[in-house]
Amino acid sequence: MPNEIHPIKLALNNIPLVTVKINETPIEIFFDTGNSHGLGLTTDIEGKIVYKFIKTIRSTWPDGTYRGESRIITISSLDVFGDVHKNVEVVLSDWKMYSSLRFNGMLGLKYFRNKRVTLDYKNKKIAVSENPLFNTALQNSHDVIVAPLNPPERHRDLIYLIGKVNGQETVIYLDTGSSASFIDPRMLDKNDIIRENRQSITKDIKFSINSFDFVVSRMRVKELRRGMNFKYPVHARLGSDVLKDFLITIDKITNRIIFHKD
């Protein structure tokens, strides 16, 4: 439906930007499938909105190690594409904890738990619906349907999929809020890695998610520690530098991810 489709922007690092209303004020924030808080704001919104301070908290990395100090605040209202939430508790952090570039905040999948979201980087649009895709609409051989894994409660709104990297089974994490994709060196041979500008990056790496096969080059090589207890370790994170080439539906109603291939 036309009223389900909304424009987005792409930041310089290809992360999708959506517009929400905080206390009736339009604010551009990242659409971030890697945000487990639902809504996270940064100190770059200081002076743009009114909020109430609650307390200071300890922020951690995904594996539980210390990251820095953040604040818990409340805002009077949050409007996400017409869906209004009142008295919302939000984590407010220094933007430097997440990025080298200023940004206002991050909107995660918490606010889409009973919805279907299609992210179209190419045409700079996002579609949000309360209806799942009917199976008759998924007869196209180019559609690849994947059942996401069920992570621990603190990560319940994040997307983890089982796939293969160079033929090895692993868990792949989809993170639209990251401008770069990473792969754990334990998935690689020495011949897969090159050094460039003091950084380790990959040559061509083959990914497979069900019948969806694609090649990614120039991934950053970094040990990934996410503290999960899946059958396979989380050894790959796909950010918007790769996901921008895909049309992806996140159907939280029926709990499935759909890759629409050209």
Q: Which of 77, 110, 128 is the last residue of a domain?
A: 128
Residue 1 lies in a domain: no
Total structural domains within the chain: 2
Task: List the domain range (segments joined by +) for residue 26.
Answer: 6-128
219 CB burial (10 A radius; 0-12, 13-18, 19+): buried
Verify that 198 and 226 share a domain, yes or no.
yes
Confirm if 103 and 29 have CB atoms less than 8 A apart: yes
Confirm if 23 and 249 have CB atoms less than 8 A apart: no
| Residue segments in the chain with a per-residue pLDDT below the cut of 70 | 1-2, 62-63, 134-141, 262
Residue 74 lies in a domain: yes
Q: Which of 111, 128, 145 is the last residue of a domain?
A: 128
Verify that 153 and 100 share a domain, yes or no.
no
Verify that 110 and 15 share a domain, yes or no.
yes
Residue 37 lies in a domain: yes
Verify that 35 and 116 share a domain, yes or no.
yes
Q: Which of 141, 173, 174 is nearest to 260 (CA)?
A: 141
Confirm if 6 and 123 have CB atoms less than 8 A apart: no
Look at residue 36 in the predicted model and tell me its pLDDT: 86
Verify that 193 and 251 share a domain, yes or no.
yes
Look at residue 140 in the predicted model and tell me its pLDDT: 62
Verify that 119 and 175 share a domain, yes or no.
no
Residue 16 lies in a domain: yes
Q: How many CB atoms lie within 10 A of CB 156?
A: 12
- pLDDT tens digits, 192-222: 999 988 899 999 999 999 999 999 999 999 9
Verify that 19 and 106 share a domain, yes or no.
yes
- Where residue 229 sits, what CATH number does that domain have? 2.40.70.10
Verify that 146 and 82 share a domain, yes or no.
no
Residue 99 lies in a domain: yes
- The pairing of strands 105-107 and 25-31 is parallel
Verify that 121 and 235 share a domain, yes or no.
no
- The four Cα atoms 231, 235, 241, 245 give a dihedral, to 10 degrees, of -40
Q: Which of 95, 128, 161 is the last residue of a domain?
A: 128
